[in-house]
Amino acid sequence: MKKSCWFVPVIALLATLTTAAAQQSKKAARIGLLSPGTLQRQMQNPRMQAFFQGLRELGWVDGKNLIVERRFANDQLSQLDGLAVDLASLKVDVIVTAAYPAAKAAKNATDKIPVVILDPGDPVGTGLVASLARPGGNVTGISQLRQISQPSAYSFSRKLRQRSAEWPFFLTMKFHPRRLQ
């Protein structure tokens, strides 16, 4: 993962945390981290590492002005729904996931708390969002879908600028000049 990719989901999260911090100036912002795997694997996940590094670079420090509520299913996917409900009941400011099963559980557990997904695969195909252009709901994140054409991506980014108040579903992709000809 490129070093600069951390900022995409952090921007979405920062809007939530800034709002939460402004509303509760004496309380730390709270992230709910939901993982289908183990603590050890989560610590080795490059996207999670970059995500938390980006938060630190923006001044969000776990234990200082940020509380991270971590929940791990330890490869028992049947536990994810209960863990997601647990995080929602804690009224965290945002739920962060790095895999589709956890994202689905978080989406099912709440429609009020934003869910940030660091790598959902195909968010439209799995039903996490209605479309990349108009995701709807409380789900946002990044995807590395490569089948989207340059004109579609341009149209999508134009709509993002027009609808900055909505929770956009960010995507990262590489454009190749030869494909535009």
Q: What is the CATH number of domain 3-180?
A: 3.40.50.2300
Which of 13-17, 42-46, 47-51, 120-124 is predicted least confidently?
A: 13-17
Kindly report, residue by residue over 115-145, the tens digit of the pLDDT: 998 876 788 888 888 887 788 889 888 766 5
Residue 30's φ and ψ, nearest 5 degrees, are -125, 125
Residue 63's φ and ψ, nearest 5 degrees, are 95, -15
Tokens 């791990």 — which residue? 72
- What's the pTM? 0.68
Q: Looking at the DSSP assignment, which residues form a beta bridge with residue 72?
A: 35
Give Cβ neighbours of residue 5 (< 8 Å, ≥ 6 apart).
50, 142, 172
**DSSP line for 82-133:** HHHHHHHHTT-SEEEESSHHHHHHHHHH-SSS-EEES--SSTTTTTSSS-SS
Kindly report, residue by residue over 62-90, the tens digit of the pLDDT: 889 999 999 999 999 999 999 999 999 99
Query: What residue segments make up the domains of the chain, in order of their start?
Result: 3-180
